[in-house]
Chains A and B, each alone.
Chain A
Amino acid sequence: MEFDITSFYLTLSAILFCMGILGVMIRRNTLVILMCIELMLNAVNLALVGLAQHFGTLDGHVYVFFIMTVAAAEAAVGLAIIISVFRNYFSVATGDVATLRG
């Protein structure tokens, strides 16, 4: 049987992504949720890099650079929002911030 490293990359990526999803769905702390989102983004990055290597093209690498840049910006904005939320609600737990419920 031929050893294909790409399948390992993809499996790892899927596991990381699912962990991110579960974290977003389960955890209450907004900071952790933000971290889980980062995890999902990096899982996708991993899949992109792995596939880029598999196909021997540069596209995936380029994507990854963009995603990293955007993720950095997102983290900055997200943290700023969290700080702002904390200032108003004295909590960063999702259950406490539900002013928009119908």
Chain B
Amino acid sequence: MFSLAHTNPTPTVNQLLLLVPLLPLLGSAVVYLLGSKAHALAGWLAVLFSAASFAVVLQLFLGLGDGVYAAELWKWFAVGDFSVSLAFRFDHLAAVMCLVVTGVGSLIHLYAIGYMHEDSNRPRFFSYLNLFLFSMLLLVLGDNLLLMFVGWEGVGLCSYLLIGFWFKEMPNAQAGQKAFVVNRIGDAGFLLGMFCIILLSGTVNFEELRSASAGWSTYWKEIIAGLLFIGAIGKSAQIPLFVWLPDAMAGPTPVSALIHAATMVTAGVYMIARLSFLYEGAPMVLMIITVVGTVTAFVAATIAIVQNDIKKVLAYSTVSQLGYMFMALGAGAFSNGIYHVVTHAFFKACLFMGAGSVIMACHHEQDMRHYGGLWKKMPFTFVTYLVATLAIAGFPFLSGFFSKDQILWTVFSNQGMPANIHVWGAVRLSHVCWGLGLVTALMTAFYMTRSLAMTFFGSYRGHAHPHESPWVVTLPLVLLAIPSAAFGYLYGESLLHYLGAWTRPDMLDHDALHANPLYHSLELISIGVALGGIALSLLFYTQLTGMPARISARLPNIHRFLEHKWWVDELYDALIIRPLRKVSDVLFAVVDRLLIDDALVNGSALFVEANGEVARKMQTGQIRLYSTLMFLGVFFMIVFYLLLRLVPL
């Protein structure tokens, strides 16, 4: 079952493991340096390097068995007793993540060739994409927290670079900056948590931490887990730091698919799963994670319902699905969280790329009110989008159904968790979370079907002449739609067991849970909710098309509230940004202008100048004066010396 026995990797395997992150890094450098010499080639080179990395991962995965591959490049640094290695570690968890990152990543690279074919900065774009893959693989493969943090910052940097890829438009540059700054708040938490860990145990290596953390008091575990969770909140766009993700949609659509849906935003989930041994001992934090995840899932879903920009719908949907993942983590079902990461990567990447395909066809129109009836014109995009929509909506026996259902069930039956506070009568907190999760599932089915119906059904309302995208775009769509549909049914259980071997602290015994008779009733409820949402949405957006407008006219306040995203941006603006601006203005006027500029910088210059005015009078240019002064000086020195000798002190 759970074993740490190294499979004694041969040197060849070591070198293979090093290739996984180094190939995309090499690709990034090559593509960037070739630059304008290889406009047409850039995308294909990038695909080549990421696909090669995927091939290596696949090779390693097939040979992994129950063991662990480890490879050390060199000792990074050592300060006193504290030393960090530049080392990689390939275990079950890392294997699953690497497969998703490189596999889905390669498909998105391929897709980007089609999506970016008109852009004149393709080499820069593909270089950044490969650099992102490298950072993400560093994050996933690093065998210690510090190396993970390097990757963590690396993906943040690439996210910033790629959101603002079209930086000549002001909103894009601002969105990139917003993402960077908001992530920074989370990173501060991550860093503080890491400092605490170093303080307590003097190591950041995951395997050493696993044994070291056993000796920590619950108090410290809660603090460290909480601080690291702040980092996860930032990176994975949870409340209250979710505001950057919807704005990040300013980037090119392949970036939204790769970074802001499939991989980077799941880094927080991965980090918590990686440190599951630590979170296991921090029940309060687990409860907070559950609540944060639930509220995020719910809030984001309500916003998604009223958005008209297709990418915004998908962005809020991503935030919402990330909330589900955190619900699972909070319930102690770490492998369920990763399970949803995997399925979500499939269907959300597929949805984003489908949206991108539609956006391309409609000449960069993103408003769904100007779509419609595209199913005939774009059959491949339509079918794949349909499959992915059904998957995320939780249509029975598609992969989203399995992973989401598992999460709802684990949250409901959250045994042994402190989340079991009685909220009201016999109702426990976990039941409330489950209920909200179920409502969210209903809304998810509703808004996803809404986007499907507004885009592909009815008649075309725009002015472009949409046509199906080229094969580089549709091939990745098809390749992602297949696992979106079938992965959960075919491999769901085996994935859970595969991960369970590593994230042993899954506090839930899956087999026992599934034996519970309640499980199947809840499953039926979920199916009903999903089908109900889909049906309701189809009714509203294909049959009774006047209905949504009438409802929003009846409830103008709620509609406006949701349309303005719960006024969160405005709230932050009023509470944080504007007071900060005011403080900065005062600091600028007083500290910067008066104190530093005037008093310190100009003041010292004035002081030196005034003294110089006096001292320059001595510089007459007359050698006689200089020599006289020198002789007098020497004379008095000698006199002084003699006096000292004569009059001993």
A residues adjacent to B (C-beta < 8 A): 21, 24-26, 28, 33, 94-95, 97-102
Return the contact of B624 from the options A26, A99, A101, A102 (Cβ within 8 A): A26
Would you call A25 and B622 a contact (CB within 8 A)?
Answer: no
Chain B residues 326-362 with CB under 8 Å of chain A are none
Are B624 and A98 in contact, with the CB atoms below 8 A? no
Distance A21 CA – B618 CA, assembled complex (angstroms):
21
Q: Is the CB of A25 within 8 A of B618?
A: no
Residue B10 interfacial (CB < 8 Å) = no
Which residues of B are found within 8 Å of A33, using beta-carbon distances? 623
For B621, give its contact among A21, A28, A101 (CB under 8 Å): A101
Q: Is B619 a contact of A102 with CB atoms below 8 Å?
A: yes
Question: How many whole Å from B623's CB to the nearest CB in chain A?
Answer: 4
Q: Which residue of A lies closest to B616 (CB)?
A: A102
Per-position binary interface string of chain B over residues 620-633, scored 1 when its CB falls under 8 Å from any chain A CB and 0 otherwise = 11111001100100
Q: List B contacts of A102 (CB < 8 A).
A: 615-621
Question: For residues 626 through 644 of chain B, which have their beta carbon under 8 Å from a beta carbon of chain A?
Answer: 627-628, 631
CB–CB A94/B617 < 8 A: no
A-B contacts counted at CB < 8 A amount to: 33
CB distance from B206 to the nearest CB of A (A): 68
- Closest approach, in angstroms, between the C-beta of A33 and any C-beta of chain B? 7
A25 to B619, Cβ gap below 8 A?
A: no
Q: Is the CB of B621 within 8 A of A25?
A: no
Cα distance, A24 to B625, chains bound together (Å): 10
In the complex, are the beta carbons of B623 and A99 less than 8 A apart? no
Rounded to whole Å, the gap between the CB of A101 and the closest CB of chain B is: 3
State whether A100 and B624 are in contact (beta carbons under 8 Å apart), knowing that A21-B631, A25-B631 are contacts in the complex.
no
Interface residues on B, range: 10 to 19
Contact A94 B618 (CB under 8 A): no
Cβ contacts under 8 Å, A24 to chain B: 624, 627, 631
Residue picked from A21, A28, A97, A102, most chain B C-beta under 10 Å? A102
Given the complex, which residues of A lie within 8 Å of B618, measured CB to CB?
Answer: 102
Check if B619 sits within 8 Å of A95, measured CB to CB: no
**Alpha-carbon distance A38/B201, docked complex (angstroms):** 74
- Within 8 Å CB of A98, what residues of B? 620-622
**Residues of A contacting B631 with CB < 8 Å?**
21, 24-25
Give which listed residue, A28, A94, A97, A100, contacts B619 with CB less than 8 A.
Answer: A100
- Residues of chain B contacted by A28 (CB below 8 angstroms): 624
**Cα-based distance from A100 to B626 in the complex (angstroms):** 12
Nearest A residue to B629 via CB reads A25
Q: What secondary structure prevails in chain B residues at the interface with A?
A: helix
A100 near B621 (CB under 8 angstroms)?
yes
A24 to B631, CA, bound (A): 10
List residues of chain B with CB within 8 A of the CB of A26. Answer: 624
Q: Is the CB of B620 within 8 A of A101?
A: yes
Closest 4 CB pairs of A and B: A98-B621, A101-B621, A102-B616, A102-B619
Residues in B neighbouring A99, C-beta threshold 8 A: 621
Is the pair B624, A94 in contact by a Cβ cutoff of 8 Å? Answer: yes
- Kindly state the separation between the CA atoms of A94 and B621 in the bound complex, as whole angstroms: 9
Q: Give the CA-CA distance A28 to B624 in the complex, in Å.
A: 8
Q: Which of B403-442 contact A (CB under 8 A)?
A: none
The answer to whether A94 and B628 touch across the interface, beta carbons within 8 angstroms, is no
Looking at the assembled complex, report how far the CB atom of A41 sits from the nearest CB atom of chain B, in whole angstroms: 15
- Chain A residue contacts of B616, Cβ below 8 A: 102
Q: In whole angstroms, how far apart are the Cα atoms of A26 and B624 in the complex?
A: 7
User: Contact check: which of B615, B617, B620, B627 meets A25 at CB < 8 Å?
Assistant: B627
> What is the CA–CA distance of A21 and B629 in the complex, to the nearest angstrom?
12
A25 neighbours in B (Cβ, 8 Å): 624, 627-628, 631
User: How many Å lie between the Cα of A25 and that of B627 in the bound state?
Assistant: 6
Identify which of B617, B622, B628 contacts A95 (C-beta below 8 A). B622
- What is the distance, in angstroms, from B631's C-beta to the closest C-beta of chain A? 6
Cβ contacts A to B, 22 pairs, < 8 Å:
A21-B631, A24-B627, A25-B627, A33-B623, A94-B622, A94-B623, A94-B624, A98-B620, A98-B621, A98-B622, A100-B619, A100-B621, A101-B619, A101-B620, A101-B621, A101-B622, A102-B615, A102-B616, A102-B618, A102-B619, A102-B620, A102-B621
> How near does chain A come to B181, taking the closest CB pair, in angstroms?
52
Other CB < 8 Å A-B pairs besides A24-B631, A98-B620, 6 of them?
A: A33-B623, A94-B623, A97-B621, A98-B622, A99-B621, A102-B620
Chain A residue contacts of B615, Cβ below 8 A: 102
- Measured CB to CB, the closest approach of chain B to A69, in angstroms, equals 24
Residues in B with CB closer than 8 Å to A97 are: 621
Smallest beta-carbon distance B186→chain A, Å: 59
CA A95 to CA B626, docked complex, whole Å: 12
B615, B618, B619, B624 — most chain A CB neighbours (10 Å): B624
Distance of A4 from chain B, by nearest CB (Å)? 21
